[in-house]
Amino acid sequence: MRNKTSFWCQECGHRSPRWMGKCPNCGAWNTLVEEPSTTKSPKNKITGNSQFPKLISQVDLSQEERYSTGIGELDRVLGGGVVPGSLVLIGGDPGIGKSTLLLQAAGSLSAGGKVLYITGEESMRQVGIRAQRLGIDTKKLYLACETDLEIITGYLKEFSPKVAVVDSIQTMVHPDISSAPGSVSQVREATAKLMQYAKEYGISIFIVGHVTKEGTLAGPRVLEHMVDTVLYFEGDRHQSFRILRTVKNRFGSTNELGIFEMRHQGLVEIENPSAMFMARHPLASAPGSVVVPSIEGSRPLLVEIQALICPNSFGVPRRMTTGVDHNRVALIMAVLEKRVGLRMGNCDAYVNVVGGVRLTEPAVDLAVALSLASSFKEVAIFNDMVVVGEIGLTGEVRPVTALERRLKEAESMGFKKALVPGTGIKKMTLPAIEIYPANTVAEAIAAALNR
């Protein structure tokens, strides 16, 4: 064995024999850091835990057993519960509630077997005080304060827990690697070791990951590829609502959404998120306010989009968005100028999604366009109307998926009108709601704003 040093990219994990200002793999600047690496002779023998190749027809395809976390919204984003032997990564900003959520889940899971909670950032007393405040039953919940990975794997062998929580992966240290905690080598080695124990002993392991100021998980991108499930905790720390989003899931659907509210007793799941987001919707709609039925994961969600258009006096107009893609809003504004004739090139534009939700599907295009046009013309749309549709560059309104489910959710929340794409609605079984079909953006604006 001989020790050598290499340069590792802190963004993508690329290894380089020498330092370079720009990573040749991901293109990030000043991310190569020198870390020691160990070169070992390769092993060509088959270990006792190795499995010989078999026909795919001989693979056991029986439905895997899942553990319920006792938190419905967390079970939803996991695809129905915790799969034995899975490795789940939860990322989020500091103070967003990652440790609180996992401590609550660990308390519920301990009712069916032993659960080991490993903390590398807090003392046992700190975790115990939080568990007492949250009212967690700790009879079968074991707690360990440790950062040495070899000692942690010894705990997993000795206790054989059903579920283990590691908070956080950036604090774990492998004794054979001399680099600092949180480096590429340490994070990759710790994750690989935990993955090996999860698969070998059937232990479900949750690991907490820090995020950078850009909102991505700290450490190499290979971390997300190694784990089975990646969950992101979103929300503003100054607000009480938290959103748990599925980014990757080998055992269920992706882009699933779980919504919580942070209270004194911990995170409380929201069973009817549409009612929560519509609670502050004004009775008399103001110009620039539009409600859109969006599909997040497997359920519809009513969300309010607000826009503000005001004249610019400084020559360079501002474009600011929160909750929707900035480039998508710029594209919609270009369509409004070219196809509808709304001259907003010398105006500042601000678009916000109420409640801290991030909307990514193109079905919200028409709602964004109408909110901009409503604010520009200073005319409010109908207060009991929802708007949904995708916009093309030629100004056409394209159909969206799951239109019936979207409108049923709107009807259940008391909305009487719906502005939808005109293509294919005659073949659908729509709820008892007044339909305003539109084939172009100009037709949609005329139907919603021309009273």
Confidence of residue 178 (pLDDT cuts 50, 70, 90): confident
* Least-confidence region, from 89-93, 177-181, 383-387: 177-181
Task: Give me the pLDDT at residue 217, please.
Answer: 59
Task: Give me the pLDDT at residue 221, please.
Answer: 62
Averaged pLDDT, 130-150: 90
Distances (CA, A) of 299 to 346, 431, 444: 39, 17, 26
**Is the Cβ–Cβ distance between 198 and 192 less than 8 Å?**
no
Task: Give me the pLDDT at residue 203, please.
Answer: 94
- CA 146, CA 269: separation in Å to the nearest integer? 31
Exposed, middle or buried, 393 (CB in 10 Å: 0-12/13-18/19+)? exposed
Better-scored residue on pLDDT, 235 or 46: 235
Whether 274 shows a pLDDT value over 60: the answer reads: yes
Averaged pLDDT, 372-379: 95
pLDDT digit string, tens, across residues 24-70: 888 888 888 887 665 444 444 444 455 678 888 887 777 678 989 99
Most confidently modeled range among 89-93, 132-136, 306-310: 306-310
Task: Give me the pLDDT at residue 39, please.
Answer: 47
Q: Structure tokens of 219?
A: 């450490």
Whether 332 shows a pLDDT value over 50: the answer reads: yes
Q: Structure tokens of 105?
A: 């889940």
Better-scored residue on pLDDT, 43 or 194: 194
**Is the Cβ–Cβ distance between 253 and 246 less than 8 Å?**
yes
Q: Which long-range contacts (CB under 8 A, 24 or more apart) does 411-415 make?
A: 412/274, 413/274, 413/275, 413/278, 413/302, 414/384, 415/291, 415/384, 415/385, 415/386
Better-scored residue on pLDDT, 443 or 299: 443
Whether 1 shows a pLDDT value over 70: the answer reads: no
Average pLDDT, the chain: 86
Task: Give me the pLDDT at residue 210, please.
Answer: 79
- CA 130, CA 265: separation in Å to the nearest integer? 10
Confidence of residue 7 (pLDDT cuts 50, 70, 90): confident
Beta-bridge partners for 218: none
Beta-bridge partners for 308: 350
The CATH homologous superfamily for domain 66-270 is: P-loop containing nucleotide triphosphate hydrolases (3.40.50.300)
Closest residue by Cα to residue 78 from 245, 269, 260, 294: 245
Averaged pLDDT, 76-103: 91
Task: Give me the pLDDT at residue 41, please.
Answer: 43
Q: Which helix (H) or strand (E) segment is 129 a member of?
A: helix 124-134
Averaged pLDDT, 218-235: 79
Whether 447 shows a pLDDT value over 90: the answer reads: yes
* Least-confidence region, from 116-130, 247-261, 383-397: 247-261
- CA 335, CA 321: separation in Å to the nearest integer? 17
Better-scored residue on pLDDT, 296 or 260: 260
Q: Would the pTM count as exceeding 0.75? A: yes
Task: Give me the pLDDT at residue 3, please.
Answer: 60
* % the chain with pLDDT above 90: 50
**Is the Cβ–Cβ distance between 26 and 9 less than 8 Å?**
yes
Better-scored residue on pLDDT, 373 or 247: 373
Exposed, middle or buried, 118 (CB in 10 Å: 0-12/13-18/19+)? buried
Closest residue by Cα to residue 382 from 306, 279, 276, 284: 284
Confidence of residue 329 (pLDDT cuts 50, 70, 90): very high
- CA 222, CA 242: separation in Å to the nearest integer? 26
The DSSP code sequence of 418-444 is EEEESTTGGGS---SSEEEEESBHHHH
- CA 244, CA 434: separation in Å to the nearest integer? 34
Task: List, in sequence order, every beta strand (DSSP E) within 10-114.
Answer: 15-16, 32-39, 87-92
Whether 77 shows a pLDDT value over 60: the answer reads: yes
Residue found by looking up tokens 């991108």 in the block:
221
Fold entry, domain 276-449: Ribosomal Protein S5; domain 2 (3.30.230)
Closest residue by Cα to residue 345 from 334, 361, 357: 334
Phi (first) and psi of residue 164, to 5 degrees: -130, 145
Better-scored residue on pLDDT, 216 or 156: 156
Whether 2 shows a pLDDT value over 60: the answer reads: no
* Least-confidence region, from 33-37, 303-307, 402-406, 443-447: 33-37
Closest residue by Cα to residue 69 from 83, 81, 79, 78: 81
| Amino acid sitting at position 354 | V
Helix (H, G, I), strand (E, B) or coil at 149: helix
